[in-house]
Amino acid sequence: MRIYDFDYTSIEGRPVQLSEHKGKVLLIVNTASKCGFTPQYRGLQSLYDTYRDQGFEVIGFPCNQFMDQEPGSEDEIAEFCSVKYGVTFPLSQKVDVRGESAIPLFQYLTSQQRFAGLGKSVKAKAMEVMLRAKYKDGYSDDQIKWNFTKFLIDREGRVAGRYEPNVEPEAIAADIEELLAQ
């Protein structure tokens, strides 16, 4: 099974087969408009602008599962992303990415790349404390922990990397370049 076996509905309501992106390097991200990590939209757009002509695509999946940080309608989300952050990369309709209601794509992504922690920075440790309190025994599972978890997909449709919310998009650039060069 590869990423191309999945589909989603665009924010405009159009069915999209991920096979439409075959041969591209993809960055799949669960997003939210009212999150402390929302400014990452700028970095995601910058990556998209820098690498899209080389076969790179970002796809954002708005999600309201984490403290109701994506409460708007699809139209409101699309307008916010466009006006506030200049987002031109594709967005899906609002989806669930964690738990039994998670869309199959995110169930697959989390089965392919395990949760390896948030890192050792002070900010990462603070986030870990909050998430351990929220998820208790579920903190160590492989499911999405928060908004702006990113999955990097190679040109063959394989999951090549997972980056937790506290990893800024710019920090992924070298990994993207490596996959684009293959």
Q: What is the pLDDT of residues 20-77, one digit of tens each?
A: 999 999 999 999 999 999 999 999 999 999 999 999 999 999 999 999 999 999 999 9
Whole-model pTM?
Answer: 0.95
3-181 under CATH 3.40.225.10, yes or no: no
Residue pair 60/89 in contact by the 8 Å Cβ criterion: yes
List of residues 6+ apart from 104 with CB closer than 8 A: 6
What is the distance between the alpha carbons of residues 173 and 78, in angstroms, rounded to a whole number? 25
Residue 162 has a CB neighbour count (10 Å cut-off) of 19
Does residue 63 have an active-site annotation?
no
What is the model's pLDDT at position 15?
98
Please report, for the chain, the start and end positions of each structural domain, with discontinuous segments joined by +. 3-181
Q: Which of 3, 18, 25, 35 is catalytic?
A: 35
Q: From the CB of residue 163, how many other CB atoms can be counted at a distance below 10 Å?
A: 19
Token pair recorded at residue 162: 């997972």
* Helix, strand, or coil (residue 16): strand
